[in-house]
Structure 1
Amino acid sequence: MGITSPERLADEENLNSINLTSSLTEKLIALDANGETDQNAILELKTTISRDRQSAQVESLERLKGVLPDDTVRKIHTAQETGAYNWLTCLPIRAKGFSLNKQEFVDAVALSYGWPVEGIPKNCAYGSPNDVNHTMTCKRGGFVCIRHEEVRDVTGSMLREVCRDVSTEPTLLPLDGEQLQYRTANTANEARVDVSARGF
């Protein structure tokens, strides 16, 4: 969603336009109605202009990174990832979760630009200073669970297309004296697995 300033680029783009149309301008001045412009030369000039424009943007970005806060630089890297703004151009299919209401759209734009999101409390329910990063990573909040459950549901939905007897969070059989290798294993009687699938 980066938008360039036409005012800053006007002089440079004017020179590019003059260089690109110079051969045609010369023929018009000479009243040469039979001559043809060299399309290969024009194509090469267009490529050069595009490459120079991109190089100038990269240099400008590198200069900005040297003076911007680390948090802003991290947001720039995130915005440059492939597909970061696909949600702006995709079809608003409600079944796929792509249909945003007004508040969701405003929040998405704010998150993309690193602007503060309106409406969130200054402190979380447990007294910690609250911001977007804390809201998304707080272990006592709901977003960590929501993200986990979304991955679980997507995995289950995809498995249902190729497997039989797919269930989410089924209860595991209770242990009967077995010793598990890893200390992080859940040995409670009500232990559950995220997704279970059998056969193809």
Structure 2
Amino acid sequence: MVVHSISRYLLIILSLFLFSLVIIECKSIKFSTSLSPKSLDLKIEKLTHLHFYLQAIIGGDHPSEVKVAGPNTSFIAFGTLEVEDDNLTVSPDVNSMTIGRAQGILASADQNELAYLNVLIFEFTKGVYANSTLSLLGRNQIDVPNREIPIVGGSGVFRLSRGFAITSRIRFIPNSSVVLVFGCYVLHY
């Protein structure tokens, strides 16, 4: 009986000791550190306006937007999923200078209106923004003339960016091409 009581006390003491080690270990785990923006060479935040054109080829032998899933009824039916890899140009002319690519996913996500969930990366390849990206994520209601899509991040020159893009359709040729104009307002360092 005495041995049983001693072993129970030892078990309780051992349990408390192990529990205290777990608490100490949990408190000692550190996976974040507060930093000054200067430590990443971040200077004064600025606002930049970008203006360019997206050239989408939706027909022919080499389309830049492809339907990958969804109902067979139409390209814009609810549930349609498209992948895009379009040229970004300096003017609405498809042969004007290419300054980058627009790569992303469009999902027809509204049962009542022509609206996409737009996940889009602008990858810039020329000029001061070469090797930089902007990330857009938001609703794109395609039957509205001027649509606003949030800019939620970026890389390179646009590291830690945020802002919005206003887009509208310039030209639409069924089963051939679409040209969109983008005005991007970007806060970045």
**TM tier, smaller:** under 0.3
TM-score (norm 1): 0.21
**Rg comparison, structure with higher value:** 1
Q: Which has the higher contact order (CA 8 A, sep 6+)?
A: 2
TM-score (norm 2): 0.22
Structure with more of its chain in helix, by fraction: 1
Structure with more of its chain in strand, by fraction: 2
